[in-house]
Chains A and B, each alone.
Chain A
Amino acid sequence: MAVPKALERISETAWELPVSYKEGMRVPARIYGTEKLIQEMDGAVFDQVTNVATLPGITKYSLCMPDGHFGYGFPIGGVAAMDAEEGVISPGGIGFDINCGMRLVTTNLTYDEVKPHLKTLVDKLYERVPAGVGSTGFVKISKKEFRKVVEQGARWFVQNGYGWEEDLELTEESGCIEGADSSKISEKAIDRGYNQIGTLGSGNHYLEIQVVHRENILDEDLARHFGITIPDQVVVMFHCGSRGFGHQVATDYLQVFLKVMESKYGIKILDRELASAPFDSPEGKDYFSAMKGAINMSFANRQVILHRIREVFSDVFGRSPEDLDMHMVYDVAHNTAKLERHLVNAHMKTLLVHRKGATRAFGPGMEGLPERYKPIGQPVIIGGSMETGSYLLVGTPGGNETFFSTAHGSGRTMSRTKARRLWHGKKLQKEMEERGIYVRTASWPGLAEEAGDAYKNIDDVILATELAGISKRVVRFIPIGNVKG
């Protein structure tokens, strides 16, 4: 599908579709990207971002980030802020994988120190961090304890010996978003989730060992602030979410909303996946507290996986994780809805900010950041494909344009079914090994689906966010080891 003729270029990286583009639009749709990214943009994005613009209470714009592509209801890369009193909450604006997110951890090891042990390290991580279809978490808790985890998030695990106190400070929402209510979550979701804590998942979820080469440090001061201090430093980045649990919560409430959206609240359904209900309604409030439960489960999942990663590194290098300086940089969520205060027409307003496949990127001085990062801005962790590498960025003042949101990844350009036909997993693994990246996977077709050419160019996407002023590059990471489900 071609780029719509009505698309107007507002600046180098901001493009708009006016309210006249589609009946029912309450605000313009704004898509970020360079000309190249826009030309190549998945056509469904233009349709979906303008559908979102019709939702009640949407404020300023219906946004899409440069890594945007087709999603369910909202595009992936979609950001929409709703008035907290008049607006709706929409599960499609959060995504099925609630709090799918990224965590970044440093070490004081260099590439030369890790290289001779790389295979052992990746093999051990593959063994000890379960990934793939039907995997069972290494954490054994009862359903009753799981309900506590759902309300206390990563905090429950740190209190039970899985990690360090500082890990919580370095996680969005301190690893536990207030207001989660496990009584609003179905037994089915609990059944699916309670034995999944400590699993990576599959698809585009992964655990990657990366290295920072000198030439890839783009802002030395900020890099140092974030813990990147050694030439050829080795770091670990992993990407996973709330697993079957979050999906069940999303599915459950999508059904609830479909029943009441039109009949009770008179909101027209343009797309079933865009089902929504007034935020200030019993259904809206119930979903919000259930969604928070899934957010917390995901923080908990990443916390225990971090603990396991520390154990494995400690085993392999014969030093304690403290001795290896395995500190977190940050943990970001990219499928959430949060109540935040933003400036709208010179007034501070409380808005429900939906980010689906988009990362929060608070600028310097903003409330909600850890004290140590407040002066400089929020670390933003954006993953590329397994073949190309990832980035650490920082939130900037210019982010006020997008409610302080930025991209979350490369964005796919090709379906999994097609990628599986074009590439062969085993062959791909061999080629990557020849290029210095050792991958272990639970599924050969799954690996083929993740081939680099199935994704947009991460450097293009990241540059677009910097040109748009919504985040600024700090460090580029090169992958050397990877565990996939």
Chain B
Amino acid sequence: MPYQFLEDIAIADIAFSAWGKDLEETFIAAADATMNVMVEDLDSIQPLEKREFRLQNEALDMLLFDLLQELIYYKDAEKFMLRIHQIKIKKDDGRHVLEAVALGEKLDSNRHRTRADVKAVTLHRFELVKTDRGWETTVILDI
């Protein structure tokens, strides 16, 4: 599991760090960590429907921020729990662009054991950094 929940920061909410050998892996890990705060067993989310995202931002870390906010948006607006299936991140004319395909299904309280409701990604200690093993991110979610 390429992410870990952190005990000693963010008393009232949830903090995690996620990592990967490249940006794509790291973004998927962060998305999974975010969904895992809400649903205990990620495998219980069946890939029944597709949602596609095309996001862009001047700042790479804010591109990740935007992706996580999209997942939160779908959870509230459509009651959809999504997992990133495919993702490509590239630079286009000075902006960072993300294209992703997410698969998931509507929340079903009979099959999905829920934990806490994620309401926002905060900017507190929010960072996405390159490491010698790839990339790592720290995120604090407001629940």
Contacts and interface: CB of A to CB of B under 8 A. Distances in A.
Interface in B45-85: 69, 72-73, 75-77, 79, 81
A244 B11 contact: no
A129 to B, nearest CB: 15
Interface string B82-124: 0000000000000000000000000101000111110111111
A471 to B, nearest CB: 22
B119 A417 contact: no
B14 A417 contact: yes
Contacts of A485: 117
A16 interface: no
A134 interface: yes
A421 interface: yes
Contact of A133 (B10, B107, B142): B107
Contacts of A97: 119, 142
A69 B120 contact: no
Given A412-B11, A416-B143, A417-B15, A133 B116 contact: yes
A132 B117 contact: yes
A203 B12 CA distance: 9
Contacts, number: 119
Contacts of B69: 251
A250 B113 CA distance: 28
A254 B65 CA distance: 13
Contact of A273 (B11, B123, B143): B123
Contacts of A243: 76, 119
Interface string A269-305: 0011100000000000000000000000000000000
Given A72-B124, A192-B73, A244-B76, A96 B9 contact: no
A442 B114 contact: yes
B104 to A, nearest CB: 12
Nearest to B122: A72
Given A416-B143, A442-B114, A445-B40, A133 B120 contact: no
A204 interface: yes
A69 B11 contact: yes
Contacts of B9: 415
B6 interface: yes
A357 to B, nearest CB: 9
A76 B11 CA distance: 11
Contacts of B76: 134, 191-193, 196, 243-244
A453 to B, nearest CB: 13
Given A193-B76, A203-B117, A414-B11, 10 more contacts: A133-B75, A134-B76, A272-B126, A273-B124, A413-B11, A415-B7, A416-B12, A417-B6, A443-B114, A449-B116
- Considering the complex of A and B, which 7 residue pairs feature the smallest CB-CB distances, nearest first? A244-B76, A133-B114, A192-B76, A191-B77, A134-B107, A272-B123, A247-B119
